Chains A and B, each alone.
Chain A
Amino acid sequence: MVDIRIPIGLMFSIFGVLITVFGLFTASDSIMYQRSLGINVNIIMGIIMLVFGLGLLLFVRKKKKK
């Protein structure tokens, strides 16, 4: 059957790229980030999701090689 880590890894990698890039483009918009206490949560969450997604994909690849 399908290894569920592949779609989860792919989806979070896409989310990660989308949100990180969006965070970078809106970094100067201080009004928008007033809600999140002045923190650019998009860049932070984007990177977390990208690491999580790519991590899962790498894990599956390593397991397959064995």
Chain B
Amino acid sequence: MKIDLIWIDYSIIIVYFIFVLSIGWFLRKYMKNANAFLEAGRSIPAWVAGLAFISTNLGALEVMGMCGSGMKYGMLQTHFYWIGAIPAMIFLALFMMPFYYGSKARSVPEFLKLRFDEKTRALNAILFAVMTILASGISMYALAILMENVLGWDYNLSLWISALIVLAYTYLGGLSSAIYNEVLQFFIIVIGLLPLVFLSLADVGGWGGLKDGLAPIAEAAGYAPDTWTTTWKYTANITQNPMGVEWFGILFGLGFVLSFGYWCTNFLIVQRAFAAESKIAARKVPLIGAFPKMFIPFLIIVPGIIALVLFNDPSKNFVLPLDSSGKPVYDYTIIMLLKQYLPSGVLGLGITALLASFMSGMAGNVSAFNTVWTYDIYQSYIRKKTDNPDADDKHYLSVGRIATVVGVLLSIASAYIASKFGNIMDFLQTIFSMINAPLFAVIFLGMFWKRTTGHGAFTGLLLGFLVALLHHGFTAPEGATTLFKGGWLGHIHTYPVEMAQNFWTAIIAFSVSTLLTVVLSLVTKQKKSVAELTGLVYSLTPHEVDKDLPWHKRPAGLAIIVGVICVVLSIIFW
């Protein structure tokens, strides 16, 4: 199972390290105030922010997880891209970004404060800060353990070195450095994994050969022969596909609640658009990111599907480590594919692509954490209690820098916690979706219904989360062996698969949150005046006119192009 790297591979990795660090070094002289450090001075061109937007999302867990899920579920996994990302990105760009960017809020929690009240911001800021740190710790753990098992790198050494490099370049150049590096990392991930796609596809005899190779495997598992190469065809009934979900769960659970919750409210993602140089640039950011996003499945999911054919063909000598119950550990799919096809040289490039994906994800977490900490927790609550509540800007620059260091150290600590309790990973990922779904309900109502009040939003946010937690506590997927998967309070309902449980947790959290926010908004008083709400609520804000731009440069025009490509892809792989 081991991969041996030689000098040429290490040279590639070292050249990459030198470049990410020097980008931070060159940007350090621009970091004169907190605005430059934490918001990139709102000066990033649309295409740079757009690629960073997608690169932050392309973290190590995404690359490893999506490739492994490609093997497990086939092209069904593309639902996480075509239906589970593109519509939300279009919605964010066209309908939400004008209010986000126009509000001048420096973070999502700050937007909540402007639209609702302090307590709603505090709740979101604290949950977000804790979750972001845990998320970056988990991906650090996942990568370090992979590198230890496959490359033989020392766990502690690779964990500390990769974390310290991210710390160095985000400490020096702040959000600008994180964003510029994400663009560089985006190109490395794409180019580094490209030879894998072509070689693996050629090996199984192209798309047609892949279909033929998958047919007996799918039939042996009790599914139709083309299940692994189709997306919607076998979603009429949960028993027809390996994901165990039907079209309604995909459309509403994934395509609406989970995806809008993630793409439209997760500050880590939205922050890239906040850093854009103008409002029109900010509105284009998610759409520019949508172009590469639509094609990423071919880069990471398709090789995963090919891995299933290799795994079932003894002559290919493709191995995956097995867990205690004898099932393959899917997270290793991508790195074992690199080993299978790439000779020294491009192999180093492929490993660099994995390191780059880890760093882009982690830098995203760190740069979002330091902003929320500095503005939404420190400036809003801690500084207020001191003798000099309005400290000068230099002060917040240092606070931002210290938060960066502390954020990385806390991430390292949580990586060690994750390595003690491996199962905690799945559980935490479930919790992230419990926070996002109610948050989307509240922000959506806040932007499109001027009656929405602070009390309503706060209650919706808190109880939506608690109900999701209760739902997880009382239900479990079939055959769950650990309480991390659910059922830690009792058993009321059993879902056929974990995915279905996740979708329904999110749907219930969203519905409860929407209902509570609406009811409480109707019975409580609106404390915000019309003047305060102007620019934050759809009906009180003058609409964007882009008449002076040619149609293909307008956000709406771009959205149509993105939408058409996405529909065409879905039909081709129906």
| A residues at B contact (CB < 8 Å) | 1-2, 4, 7-8, 10-12, 14-15, 18-19, 22-23, 26, 32-33, 35-37, 39, 41-42, 44-46, 48-49, 52
State in angstroms the CA–CA spacing of A38 and B8 once bound together: 20
Which residue from A4, A26, A42, A52 sits with its C-beta under 8 Å from B183?
A4
* Nearest CB in chain B to that of A48: its residue: B191
B187, A35: Cβ atoms under 8 Å? no
How far is B19's CA from A14's CA once the two chains are assembled, in angstroms? 11
The answer for the CA separation of A33 and B317 in the assembled complex, in Å, is: 16
Whether B345 contacts A19 by the Cβ 8 Å rule is yes
Contact of A41 among B27, B30, B203, B342 (CB under 8 A): B342
Complex Cα distance, B22 from A37, in Å, reads 37
Chain A to chain B contacts (Cβ below 8 Å), 19 pairs: A1-B30, A4-B180, A4-B183, A11-B16, A11-B184, A14-B15, A18-B12, A26-B344, A35-B342, A36-B195, A37-B202, A37-B341, A39-B199, A44-B195, A45-B194, A45-B195, A45-B345, A46-B345, A49-B191
Chain B interface, number of residues (Cβ within 8 angstroms): 32
Report which of A18, A26, A35, A49 forms a contact with B341, defined as CB distance below 8 A: A35
How far is the CB of B172 from the nearest CB of chain A, in Å?
A: 13
Cα separation A42 to B342 with both chains bound (whole Å) = 9
Q: Nearest Cβ distance between residue A37 and chain B, in whole angstroms?
A: 6
Interface string of B5-34 (1 = CB under 8 A from A): 000100110011001001100110010000
B interface majority secondary structure = helix
Q: Check A26/B345 contact, CB under 8 A, given A4-B48, A7-B23.
A: yes
CB-based contact A15/B15 at 8 Å: yes
Cβ of A19 and Cβ of B349 under 8 Å apart? yes
B43 at the binding interface (Cβ < 8 Å): yes
Complex Cα spacing A1 to B48, Å: 13
Which residues does chain B contribute within 8 Å of A1, judged by CB atoms? Answer: 27, 30, 43, 176
**Contact: A15 with B12, CB < 8 Å?**
yes
Cβ of B345 and Cβ of A8 under 8 Å apart?
Answer: no
Task: Judge whether A7 and B30 touch: CB under 8 Å.
Answer: no
Q: Which residues of A contact B11 (CB under 8 A)?
A: 18
| Contact in complex: A52, B191 (CB < 8 Å) | yes
A22 to B43 Cα, complex, angstroms: 40
Interface centre among B8, B16, B342 (most CB of A within 10 A): B8
Name the residue on B nearest A46 (C-beta).
Answer: B345
Given known contacts A8-B184, A18-B8, A19-B346, A36 and B341 CB-to-CB distance under 8 angstroms: yes
The CA-CA distance from A52 to B176 in the complex, in Å, is 24
B44 → chain A closest CB, angstroms: 9
Question: Does B340 sit at the interface, judged by CB under 8 A?
Answer: yes
Inter-chain contact B342/A15, CB cutoff 8 Å: no
Contact B191 A41 (CB under 8 A): no
Nearest CB of chain B from residue A64's CB, rounded to whole Å: 16
Nearest B residue to A8 via CB reads B184
Collect the chain A residues with CB atoms within 8 Å of residue B191's CB. 12, 45, 48-49, 52
B343 at interface, CB cutoff 8 A: yes
Question: Which of B12, B27, B199, B345 is close to A37, meaning CB atoms less than 8 Å apart?
Answer: B199
Q: Which residues of B contact A45 (CB under 8 A)?
A: 191, 194-195, 345-346, 349
Q: Which residue of A lies closest to B184 (CB)?
A: A8
Q: Which residues of A contact B202 (CB under 8 A)?
A: 37
Report the separation of the CA atoms of residues A46 and B343 in the bound assembly, to the nearest whole angstrom: 13
Residues of B within 8 A of A48 (CB): 191
With A8-B187, A11-B16, A41-B195 already in contact, 6 other A-B pairs whose C-beta atoms are closer than 8 Å: A11-B184, A19-B8, A37-B341, A42-B343, A45-B346, A46-B345
Chain B proximity of A66: nearest CB distance (Å): 17
Nearest-CB residue, chain A, relative to B352: A15
Query: How many angstroms between the C-alpha atoms of A23 and B342 in the bound complex?
Result: 12
Contact of B27 among A2, A11, A12, A49 (CB under 8 A): A2
Bound-state Cα–Cα, A7 to B176, Å: 14
**Inter-chain contacts of B27 with A (CB < 8 A):** 1-2
B346's partner among A14, A37, A42 (CB-CB below 8 A) is: A42
Distance, CA A39 to CA B196, complexed state (A): 12
When chains A and B are docked, how far (Å) is the Cα of A31 from the Cα of B507?
Answer: 54
How far apart are B519's CB and chain A's nearest CB, in angstroms? 49
Q: Mark B179-197, 1 if CB is under 8 A from A, else 0.
A: 0100110010001001100
With a cutoff of 8 Å between Cβ atoms, the chain B residues found around residue A42 in the complex are 343, 345-346
Residues on B with beta carbons closer than 8 Å to the beta carbon of A10: 19
Instruction: Knowing A2-B27, A11-B19, say if A36 contacts B199 (CB, 8 Å).
Output: yes
Chain A residues with Cβ below 8 Å from B180 are 2, 4, 7
In the complex, what's the smallest C-beta–C-beta distance from B236 to chain A, in angstroms?
39
Q: Considering only CB atoms, which chain A residue lies closest to B44 in the complex?
A: A1
Q: How far is the CA of A17 from the CA of B143 in the complex (A)?
A: 29
Please name all residues of chain A whose beta carbon is closer than 8 Å to the beta carbon of B23 when the two chains form the complex.
2, 4, 7
Contact A15 B340, beta carbon cutoff 8 Å: no
Are B48 and A7 neighbours in the complex by a CB distance under 8 Å?
no
Contacts of A41 in B (CB 8 A): 195, 199, 342-343, 345-346
Question: Residues of A contacting B343 with CB < 8 Å?
Answer: 26, 32-33, 35-36, 41-42
Determine the distance from Cα of A26 to Cα of B346 in the docked complex, in whole angstroms: 13
Q: How far is the CB of B258 from chain A (nearest CB, A)?
A: 32
Q: Which A-chain residue is minimally distant from B47 (CB atoms)?
A: A4
